[in-house]
Structure 1
Amino acid sequence: MAVLDGWSDKRKHVNAFKLSFCLGVVTSLKLSIDVNVEVDHRLEVERELRKSKWIEAGRQWVAWDVNDGTKTAIQSLVDAGDADALRQKLEKRLDFGTAGLRAAMGAGTVCMNDLVVIQTMQGLVAYLEESYGVEAVQRRGIVLGYDHRQFGTLNSKQFAAYSAAVAVSRGIKVYLYEGVVATPLVPFAVDRLGCVAGIMVTASHNPKADNGYKVYGSNGCQIIPPHDKRIAASILNHLAPWQLYDITNIRSQTADPTAELVAAYFDAMTPLVRYPQDNANPLYHVKVAYSAMHGVGHEFTRQSFSKFNLPPYYPVEAQMHPDHTFPTVAFPNPEEGQGALHLSFETAAK
């Protein structure tokens, strides 16, 4: 009986151990489940906070935007509660550097659009006022030019108009070219008119959906460090529109330097002609094919040839006139070679 009692006691200890182990496992599982539930809850709260953050950022954009197209694009994402898409549109800003801005046209802070241009111009104007003094900036003024680029409800002319409106709101004299101009006309005007800055709205040889914002200093040259970083910081300090800008009658509030400055630009070329007689001599003439690649260069290049007494070039007629759709070339950069210049080669071969 003693042996049996011993086995009975051992069995009791084993059963007690099993029960204790099982209770421990159950407790651990419960704790694990509780922890997982808590983690899931915390992650859900964080997701909701992030979503709320970008929804609110979208609403802020819509409240500030002046363009129906880009405003509608962001509003549709807000209505859909698409926080990820809003984050992609609004999390980062275009970097303002020595070349200004350049990016695809579209909605959000990562693209070129009316609101980004307004914010950029406000930051630039504030920096100029700080650097030169309000009175000097008002008196000396700013010159603005633009090309023919357009994408949806966004275009270069509109970007220039909103830039002018920002400057006018601060009492600054604005010289706004009438119609599209070649980029050199802006820094030339800055130098000739004694302006504190110049802005050219163009993306040069970029694809058709892109646009850009080139800034020139009072010396007529592209800005250099540290001015670019200081302007970038000023932009961030002036994101909220100073007022509701109306560009309907902006022409009546600005000066048009086109006739005077274009003539002066080509007149300034005359002293640079080293061999006017040789240039006019048919014995030295070579045939030149030229393509504007659907940009604004044809008329200005034609006049340049004339000023140098050079014979007219042979234009690539299919690419001669400004066309924002760039129908014959996807990437209008002559550095691309054959892919961009095949029509030029064909014209030269005729």
Structure 2
Amino acid sequence: MTGTGGGQGGGDLLAEARGWLAQDPDPDTRAELSELIDRGDLAALEDRFRTKLEFGTAGLRGELGAGPNRMNRVTVMRAAAGLAAVLGPGRHVVIGYDARYKSDVFARDTAAVLTGAGLHASLLPHPLPTPVLAFAVRHLGADAGVTVTASHNPPRDNGYKVYWGDGSQIVPPVDAEISAAIDAVGPVDRLPLHAPGTLTELGEEVVAAYLAAVTSLPLGEARDLRVAYTPLHGVGAATLDAAFRAAGFEPPVAVVEQRDPDPRFPTVSFPNPEEPGAMDLAVALAAKLRADLVLANDPDADRCAVGVPLPDGTCRMLTGDEVGGLLAEHVITHTTGDRMVATTIVSSTLLGKIAQAHGVRYGETLTGFKWIIRAGPGLVFGYEEAIGYSIGADAGAGADARLPVRDKDGIGAALTVAAIAATAKRTGRTLLDLLDDQARRYGLHATSQLSFRVADLSLITAAMSRLRATPPTTLGGRAVTRADDLARGDGGLPTTDGLRYHLAGDARVVIRPSGTEPKLKCYLEVVIPAPDDVPTARTNATATLDTLKTDLTTLLAL
């Protein structure tokens, strides 16, 4: 997350840059910064030093490079020192990392700072999916966890995410405490590093424990399924392959060009399965294989995309809400006892209806898995529309025992979706048939998104201000029946920067800035009650969503 700050005079700016250079242990960023100083490139220095990456509930995320407004070894060591100060000596932190540029270096820097401060650090053995780290925190009884990843951000980005001892992402006030401790850190070249005997280099046993946990999810008995898969140059392939084998499935056939980790992400514009074109190679592979299912993970494998190949060689990609509905009903029907399912304010309203029909509790939270996972006791399934899911099972006493991973888990989700698809295949059906069944039972809940990526974050601020000053009275030809300003706490949730419009005819629009990318995001939903003719209902719903998108594009002027 990037903060704001005022400009500086050239002399002050050069002095700050030289001070940063003096403590920087990385030859790459030292060379970059030295060149900028030698050239007197004040514009480039201003961009790197006029503000800083702010530590928040999403941790740190930003472009690699020199200076406080970039991800680099100094930034990471300061973050580790701040975390160490909040935790205190003697505490245990597990560290994981993905395969992006510098991720392994940042992970070892974190270990060096933590152990130097008197903490015990355990380092995962190689680049692994984020859910393995989240699992390992509780499995090893650690006090916190750190993973170095920028998830699905562009190649030049990296990030730093912190988990607490319950295995979930940090929330306030812990984030503010760590941020304040980071601000108090002096030059990193003065930090004590590498206390002997306080670093554990973990082996494959922690991965084996994770695999045992996810293969204990409710997977049924059907295993006949052919899957085309892509990890999008990320770290998911080996773990997913091992999970499928351990569960008795034929391993997915991976897209060769995207199978191995590659921080360049050479075949995609953005390494995000939701972005246009990202799934093209997987869809082509599915057609070649005559596959039953298409699966994808994002680069750190905490999210899962799902598609159903069609006879004409194309593929129907499911929305996160559609997958969430299928997974929810599967988990509910394969678990017992007092249970809760939860999702966010921007996800479909379908989950609430499924929960009501099955007599389980339902929770609605702010966006982000850090909130979903805290929805309430007995949580057995949580999801967000951005293709993130946490799958639970019956696992003895205690609510925590239900969820092996208290965060998004793209491996566990892929495995469970495969189980649902294999069961459907036994009777000649697909996931699309199951979606039609749900539409008849609960009503067709059609959702879509509209995102605006900007170069200047002030454009998003201005757009939100315009909407608050002059709220729309109609959208997509439907009257706005109620407007909620989530920044005021409308709707009974903690405040967040967002607007929610309820429309006549059971439709809804939520508008909010992204928490991790320079985007303004719009979430659209249209509900058609229990249609007999589901295909026609889908066509009509899609037309309504398209009209809403056209109106929003004009309204937001981005």
The secondary structure found in structure 1 opposite 2:32 is helix
Given the two structures, how large is their TM-score scaled by the length of structure 2? 0.48
Q: How far apart are the structure 1 equivalents of 2:279 and 2:199? A: 39
Task: Report the equivalent of 1:117.
Answer: 76
Kept after mapping to 2: 8 A contact 1:98/1:223: yes
Structure with higher Rg: it is 1
1:129-164 C-alpha deviation (Å, 9 max, x unpaired): 2xxxx34x2xxx1111111111xxxx1000001100
Q: CA deviation at 1:192?
A: 1.0
Task: Report the equivalent of 1:90.
Answer: 49
Q: Tell me which amino acid in the other structure corresponds to 1:91.
A: R
Q: How far apart are the structure 1 equivalents of 2:38 and 2:113? A: 31
Task: Report the equivalent of 1:10.
Answer: none
1:187-206 C-alpha deviation (Å, 9 max, x unpaired): 11110111111011111111
Kept after mapping to 2: 8 A contact 1:61/1:71: no
1:14-50 C-alpha deviation (Å, 9 max, x unpaired): xxxxxxxxxxxxxxxxxxxxxxxxxxxxxxxxx9x82
Q: Tell me which amino acid in the other structure corresponds to 1:142.
A: V
Q: How far apart are the structure 1 equivalents of 2:58 and 2:72? A: 17
Q: CA deviation at 1:270?
A: 3.6
Q: How far apart are the structure 2 equivalents of 1:163 and 1:272? A: 33
Match of 2:35 among 69, 76, 83: 76
For structure 1, the residue ranges without an aligned partner over 5 or more in a row are 1-46
1:92-126 C-alpha deviation (Å, 9 max, x unpaired): 11021111111111111111111110111111111
The secondary structure found in structure 2 opposite 1:159 is helix
For structure 2, the residue ranges without an aligned partner over 5 or more in a row are 1-6, 289-558
In structure 2, do the counterparts of structure 1 residues 334 and 169 end up closer, same or farther at CA, with 3 Å as the change threshold?
same
Task: Report the equivalent of 2:416.
Answer: none
Task: Report the equivalent of 2:226.
Answer: 287
Indicate whether 1:331 and 2:331 are aligned. no
In structure 2, do the counterparts of structure 1 residues 127 and 252 end up closer, same or farther at CA, with 3 Å as the change threshold?
closer
1:232-261 C-alpha deviation (Å, 9 max, x unpaired): 1111111422636778xx998621223221
The secondary structure found in structure 1 opposite 2:29 is helix
Q: How far apart are the structure 2 equivalents of 1:159 and 1:331? A: 23
What is the aligned length? 282
Q: How far apart are the structure 1 equivalents of 2:20 and 2:233? A: 34
Q: How far apart are the structure 2 equivalents of 1:205 and 1:344? A: 17
In structure 2, do the counterparts of structure 1 residues 169 and 346 end up closer, same or farther at CA, with 3 Å as the change threshold?
same
Q: How far apart are the structure 1 equivalents of 2:230 and 2:24? A: 37
Q: How far apart are the structure 1 equivalents of 2:77 and 2:246? A: 38
In structure 2, do the counterparts of structure 1 residues 346 and 163 end up closer, same or farther at CA, with 3 Å as the change threshold?
same
Indicate whether 1:187 and 2:134 are aligned. yes
> Where is the strand percentage greater, Structure 1 or Structure 2?
2
In structure 2, do the counterparts of structure 1 residues 209 and 194 end up closer, same or farther at CA, with 3 Å as the change threshold?
same
Q: How far apart are the structure 1 equivalents of 2:42 and 2:216? A: 60
Q: How far apart are the structure 2 equivalents of 1:318 and 1:76? A: 36
Quote the RMSD (CA, aligned, Å).
2.1
Q: How far apart are the structure 1 equivalents of 2:55 and 2:191? A: 24
Q: Percent identity?
A: 40
1:265-292 C-alpha deviation (Å, 9 max, x unpaired): 11123432441xx223xxxx23221101
Q: How far apart are the structure 1 equivalents of 2:87 and 2:133? A: 17
- Off by >6 Å, runs of 4+ in structure 1: none
Kept after mapping to 2: 8 A contact 1:200/1:213: yes
Correspondences of 1:47-196 after superposition (within 5 Å):
50-129=9-88, 134-135=89-90, 137=91, 141-150=92-101, 155-196=102-143
Kept after mapping to 2: 8 A contact 1:208/1:330: no
Kept after mapping to 1: 8 A contact 2:84/2:119: no
Q: Which moved more, 1:259-268 or 1:238-247?
A: 238-247
Kept after mapping to 2: 8 A contact 1:144/1:160: yes
Q: CA deviation at 1:181?
A: 0.9
Indicate whether 1:301 and 2:240 are aligned. yes
Q: How far apart are the structure 2 equivalents of 1:198 and 1:220? A: 8
Q: CA deviation at 1:335?
A: 1.0
> Where is the helix percentage greater, Structure 1 or Structure 2?
1
Kept after mapping to 2: 8 A contact 1:109/1:116: yes
The secondary structure found in structure 2 opposite 1:327 is coil
